Amino acid sequence: MGDKPSEFDLIARIRTRAMLREDVLLGIGDDAAILRVPTGCDLVVSTDTLNAGVHFPHGTAPFDIGWKALAVNLSDLAAMGAQPAWCTLNLTLPAADAAWLDGFLDGFLELAAAHRVALVGGDTTRGPLSITATVFGFTPHDAALHRDHAVVGDDVWVSGTLGDAAAGLALWLASNFSPSTVAPSDPYPFLPEINKQTPSPASGRRQGRGNDFSHTRPHPNPPPQAGEGVLAQSFASSGRVPAILTVGSPSPLAGEGLGRGRENASNLLARLHRPTPRVALGLALRGIAHACIDVSDGLLADLGHILDASKVGARIDTVALPTSPALSTAFDETARQRFQLGGGDDYELCFTALADRADDVLAAARAAGVAITRIGVVEAEHGLRLRQDDGTLFDAPTLGYRHFDSSREPVDPA
């Protein structure tokens, strides 16, 4: 194929590795795909674009980019209670790099195979690195989960643990990471430096029933742009890192020594780069959950979407937020809660269900093999309130990433 493969060489490379399904009547290689939707089903479609320096840091491994490009879309189908079936892939590449493409496909197609998702088409163009995947799935007629069905009195649940991806990014930033330092044998070469970091805590200031999370500190080098939720939020505003990433200190890492510090950081970074779409849980929640959403922009932002769409409010118990051992060990309580409430990219499911169906909810989670936690309740009063462990209530701050927030203009990572 030569040193510089053509666009058609790249397409052929993708085609030879794409999985087939019996409902793909015509896949890659024609002007369009022909697909057969099962009788009695609705078609559910989701699409997401990942841009280098906006949704993932420069220097991210191709495998991880491929995995995440599909995972974020499968997570949307999970939130709808849909069974994934097919996908398309649009790649904008700065150069025809066959080795990079192979690494990307390794991640993308490994996750696709795990969910029996067939790659049936797409496009390749030249330009700054950008990936758009579109996924297609099914639900029985009128069985999809929606955002706008939450009911007063519902319990609020989340799957897995929250805040890990945001914490992983914080460690990435704290390391002053440079992509040029990456060696194939060590994808996270900066981790030893984490043990030398002692960021100064930044405190949230109580104002009435709200919190002020506006304090920031300069970052020594403008960091690269990165993903949804805390990722893009953290890389904006002319190289300044918001308080959600500067509160607390990873000092427990230093106290426990290099080995444990690297283990914690690796676990958190894995959640950042290779999220697990909760497809099985979404399927199990059909007919049980009232409303559902995936946590991509942060718990407060995404639960807020459910509340706005359903025209209700909610109370969240901060002490109930599920915490991974890695996050608990690496950061203090203040930092942990801010990652959990305002961080993004966990791609867990947040959903509501009648309180008297708690046993059914737990049974569905067991069947899906996913841990879930009840974190609050839906209320009639609009808005989202946080209850601390001492019973104090305050209005939730506005956190979560917005792409066109004029106060957070992206910086040029080059």
- Alpha-carbon radius of gyration of the chain: 21
CA 274 – CA 63 distance, rounded (Å): 9
Q: What is residue 405's predicted lDDT score, i.e. its pLDDT?
A: 53
Identity at 89, one-letter amino acid code: L
Q: What is residue 57's predicted lDDT score, i.e. its pLDDT?
A: 83
Report helix angle 98-114 to 7-17, nearest 10. 30
Taking 80 as the threshold, does the pLDDT of residue 214 lie above it? no
Question: Which numeric CATH code is attached to 7-140?
Answer: 3.30.1330.10
For 349-380, write each residue's pLDDT tens digit: 999 999 999 999 999 999 999 999 999 999 99
Which of 234-243, 257-266, 276-285, 381-390 is least confident? 234-243
Task: Please provide residue 126's backbone torsions phi and psi, each rounded to the nearest 5 degrees.
Answer: -105, 135
Determine contact, residues 159/292, Cβ cutoff 8 Å.
no
CATH architecture for the domain at 146-403? Alpha-Beta Complex (3.90)
Which of 200-204, 259-263, 285-289, 319-323 is least confident? 200-204
CA 121 – CA 119 distance, rounded (Å): 6
For 22-42, write each residue's pLDDT tens digit: 999 999 888 999 999 999 999
Q: Please state the rounded mean pLDDT for residues 210-218.
A: 25
Higher pLDDT, 353 or 216: 353
Q: What is residue 398's predicted lDDT score, i.e. its pLDDT?
A: 63
Q: Please state the rounded mean pLDDT for residues 159-167.
A: 95
Band of pLDDT at residue 266, cut at 50, 70 and 90: confident
Report angle CA 81, 86, 92 to the nearest 5 degrees: 115
Higher pLDDT, 261 or 363: 363
Would you list the domain boundaries of the chain? 7-140, 146-403
Q: What percent of the chain has pLDDT over 90?
A: 57
pTM: 0.79
